[in-house]
Structure 1
Amino acid sequence: MNFWEKATGSDLTREWKAFQARAEALPGDHQAAWGQIIAHLFPYGDFTGRNLLPILDAALGLLEAAAADGQSVHEVLGDDIGGFCTALAGGAGARTYRDRWREQLNGSVARKLSRLGG
């Protein structure tokens, strides 16, 4: 990937189109699970979402393998897709973008207050 692709996000567009094409080949219940996986993983992404691409690729590969083997989504992911996604992202303590932004804001406010206090 060159600088221009990274700066414009065209590499991400290409990746998402490839994911979409792969997901459209899945059975309906697997496609629905894919949509839920995306929704549950997005809070763990960085500003661009590049850090999620390997995780999403692996999750989609798992759904593809399950569909090829004739397994249902329930057999593969269980009852709790949100919990599955949390485990993929690094566990219950994994930081979301909200956590990172909150820490950044708190740090900025603390620096401003320390300047005002003397």
Structure 2
Amino acid sequence: MRIQDIIEGKKEWRAHMARVKSLPQDYQIVYREMQKYLFKVGPVELTDEKGLLSGIVDLFEEGAALGKGVLEVTGSDVAAFCDDLIKDSKTYADIYQESVDQKVSKAMKKVTDKTK
């Protein structure tokens, strides 16, 4: 990764967070909690330009513009809302699980080859 790419990434992140800070207080609080949750759960395409977090901010901006409270947008179970958003997304846990499965398969193949 080039230094220029890092600088661009920081600029994009600052612009993203400026959008979050322009939201009403209740939206900011829920966004931060969703962000923490999603960082822990680990969908792979979370922060890219057209990623999940930008989509959430878009949704929140629309909800705020319509005068809705944040829980009218997400529902009262925010974690379930997040889970629904990422249900078809590949997570880092998925990648790790695939890696483990491949390693186990290779190891088991070696064991069965030796016993033949």
TM-score w.r.t. the length of structure 2 is 0.76
Within-5 A mapping of 1:53-64: 53-64=50-61
Structure 2, unaligned stretches of length 5 or more? none
Contact 1:45 / 1:51 at 8 angstroms: preserved in 2?
Answer: no
Within-5 A mapping of 1:107-118: 107-118=102-113
Radius of gyration: which is bigger? 2
Q: CA deviation at 1:106?
A: 2.0
- 1:30 is aligned, of 27, 30, 40, to 27
- 1:45 is aligned, of 32, 40, 43, to 43
Q: Give deviations 1:46-104, integer Å, cap 9, x for gaps.
A: 2x74558422111101111222222111111111111211222235xx54211220221
Letter in 1 for 2:93: R
Aligned with 1:79: secondary structure?
Answer: coil
Aligned with 2:76: secondary structure?
Answer: coil
- 1:82 is aligned, of 70, 74, 79, to 79
Matched, 1:72 2:79: no
How many positions carry a matched residue from both structures? 112
Structure 1: how far apart are the matches of 2:49 and 2:85? 10
Structure 1, unaligned stretches of length 5 or more? none
Contact 2:20 / 2:57 at 8 angstroms: preserved in 1?
Answer: yes
Contact 2:38 / 2:82 at 8 angstroms: preserved in 1?
Answer: yes
CA RMSD of aligned residues (A): 2.6
- 2:94 is aligned, of 95, 99, 103, to 99
TM-score w.r.t. the length of structure 1 is 0.75
